Structure 1
Amino acid sequence: MKKITRFLFISSVVTTSFAQAQTINLKPLWETDTTIRTPECVLVDPARKVLYVACINGGPSLENKTSYVAKLGMDGKVIQMKFTENLNSTKGMGILGDKLYVTEMTQVAEIALATGKIVNRYPVDGAKFLNDIAVDTKKGIIYVSDSNDSKIWALQNGKMTLVLGGAPLKGNNGLLFENDQVLIGNGDGSLLSMNPTTKEVKTIAKGMGGIDGIVALGNKKYIVTEWGGKVWYVNSDGTPELKLDTSAEKINTADIGYDPASKVLFIPTFFHNTVKAYSVK
């Protein structure tokens, strides 16, 4: 019996150590001042080593046309407060080539990265609440979520087409393109994966609240956020682990950005009017 007990103890230690090795820790690094207003999304531009922050600057409504995109350094310091202005309730962003794309409720704005000027706008037929963006850089496709219509659209060569609508989508928000798949943060708290060719949808993880932002850590591991103030780590086996909860302080965690080179996570706090940076270890 002693040998069996010892074996069980060692097995328990090994299992616990393995589980601990599979998790991550978030360590606070810095927080911006509150001069940026209602930041909803942070996008890392590794080529230019800057952050773009979509600032709603008020409420996320069709009537709000005072939104802008701010340009920050990787240290959170403002380079240009209004890199692009006169936008309409900005949210998700993505980069394709030398252009920045950002959602504007019922359309997608195309912005020249060299100047910050809006060069085009692409309306989405019947759109209700366009939210996040994910980009397939190889095929030149920009995927867009409509949270209030449970749809995913695709912009390619200036043409907008419907990719998927209805169940299992429900209040879908966050998007990420990885390994030829479109990852979808569903309103029911599940993380989905869609094959854009076959439209087949699979469930990667579930058990969270409505997912806002999604970033990939590699090896099928992800960090996802709930707008209300929760940050989850999703392991490769699909198990979600709550890593940060600022909901009691009413500090939101909206559409996150991640720099894999420095392993830093950037969290826009929405009504708290800051961006927070955390090291991911």
Structure 2
Amino acid sequence: MRKTFFIACMNLVACAAIAQAQTIHLKPVWETDTTLRTPECVLVDPAKKVLYVACINGNPTLQNKGSYLAKVGMDGKVIKLKFTEGLNSTKGMGILGDKLYVTEMNQVAEVSLATGKILNRYPVAGAKFLNDIAIDTKKGIVYVSDSDDSKVWAITNGKPSLVLSGSPLKGPNGLLFENNQLLIGNGDGSLLSMDPATKKLTTLAKGMGGIDGIVALGNKKYVVTEWAGKVWYVQPDGKTELKLDTSKEKINSADIGYSASSQMLFVPTFFHNTVKAYSLK
């Protein structure tokens, strides 16, 4: 009886230790200066070891023509404030080959990573509020969410096509392509996974607010953000943990970036006009 009780206790301790080991901790490391005006998205370029920051630079509406992409070092120092200029209400970004793609409300701009120049623009007919981008680098597909129209689009060889529309999509925003699956951050706070071949949707987690950014930590673990200022950790079994809440301070947490090599999370604070870096080690 005592031996059984002892083993049971030890198992509980072991389970508690495993559960503790599975969580993450966000430790502030640095914060940029406030020259990054209304930063909405941070994209990590592991090859060049730099960050690209999509700065709306004002109101996130169709009439905003002053948006730009900034190039920032992994230490938070701005390398080139206006790497790309003349953009319109920039939001989500993705890299395919030597080009960067960024949304502009009703079109997607294609930017040269070498020069920062805009090479092409791909209009999406009927689009209302194109938001985030995720890229299938193997097939060369650029996925784009339309938050105001509850749709997901795909751009292949410059040609847009509709992927998903309507329920259960509700104001989809954050996108991530991983392990041949497209993850979708829904406006109702659910994290969905779509099989591109069948278009079948699976719910990975729920109970959060409208999801803005999604990054993968590996082994089916994710960090997702709510624009209002909340950062969530999603475990493989779908359990969620609130790891950061700056909503009371009115510091937003928009579309995040993540460096797997340094285990650093980069959070754009939108109206707070900075990017904050956190260590996940």
Between the aligned partners of 2:169 and 2:127, the Cα distance in structure 1 is 15
Please state how far the C-alpha of 1:240 moved relative to its aligned partner: 0.7
* 2:32 aligned partner: 32
Written as runs of structure 1 = structure 2, the 5 A alignment for 1:73-222 is 73-222=73-222
Between the aligned partners of 2:10 and 2:79, the Cα distance in structure 1 is 54
TM-score by length of 2: 0.98
* 2:259 aligned partner: 259
Please state how far the C-alpha of 1:114 moved relative to its aligned partner: 0.9
Please state how far the C-alpha of 1:3 moved relative to its aligned partner: 4.4
Secondary structure (helix, strand or coil) at the match of 1:252 reads: coil
* 1:11 aligned partner: 11
Secondary structure (helix, strand or coil) at the match of 1:28 reads: strand
The alignment covers a number of residue pairs equal to: 281
* 2:61 aligned partner: 61
The amino acid that maps onto 1:277 is A
Please state how far the C-alpha of 1:12 moved relative to its aligned partner: 2.3
Between the aligned partners of 2:132 and 2:56, the Cα distance in structure 1 is 13
Determine what percentage of the aligned residue pairs are the same residue: 76
Spell out, residue by residue over 1:189-212, the C-alpha distance to the aligned partner (whole angstroms, 9 max, x if none): 010000111100000111111000
The amino acid that maps onto 2:249 is E
Please state how far the C-alpha of 1:238 moved relative to its aligned partner: 1.1
Please state how far the C-alpha of 1:279 moved relative to its aligned partner: 0.8
Between the aligned partners of 2:20 and 2:252, the Cα distance in structure 1 is 27
* 1:49 aligned partner: 49
Please state how far the C-alpha of 1:16 moved relative to its aligned partner: 1.1
Secondary structure (helix, strand or coil) at the match of 1:79 reads: strand
Please state how far the C-alpha of 1:13 moved relative to its aligned partner: 1.4
Q: Structure 2 regions of 5+ residues with no counterpart?
A: none
Spell out, residue by residue over 1:210-253, the C-alpha distance to the aligned partner (whole angstroms, 9 max, x if none): 00000000110000000010001111111111111111111100
Please state how far the C-alpha of 1:276 moved relative to its aligned partner: 0.4
Across the aligned residues of Structure 1 and Structure 2, the Cα RMSD in angstroms comes to: 1.0
Between the aligned partners of 1:3 and 1:74, the Cα distance in structure 2 is 53
TM-score by length of 1: 0.98
Please state how far the C-alpha of 1:36 moved relative to its aligned partner: 0.8
Between the aligned partners of 2:83 and 2:242, the Cα distance in structure 1 is 34
The amino acid that maps onto 2:160 is M
Please state how far the C-alpha of 1:11 moved relative to its aligned partner: 2.7
Secondary structure (helix, strand or coil) at the match of 2:86 reads: strand
Q: Structure 1 regions of 5+ residues with no counterpart?
A: none
The amino acid that maps onto 1:232 is W
Moved over 4 A (4+): 1-5
Please state how far the C-alpha of 1:6 moved relative to its aligned partner: 3.3
Secondary structure (helix, strand or coil) at the match of 1:91 reads: coil
* 1:22 aligned partner: 22
The amino acid that maps onto 1:148 is D
* 2:237 aligned partner: 237
Please state how far the C-alpha of 1:57 moved relative to its aligned partner: 0.4
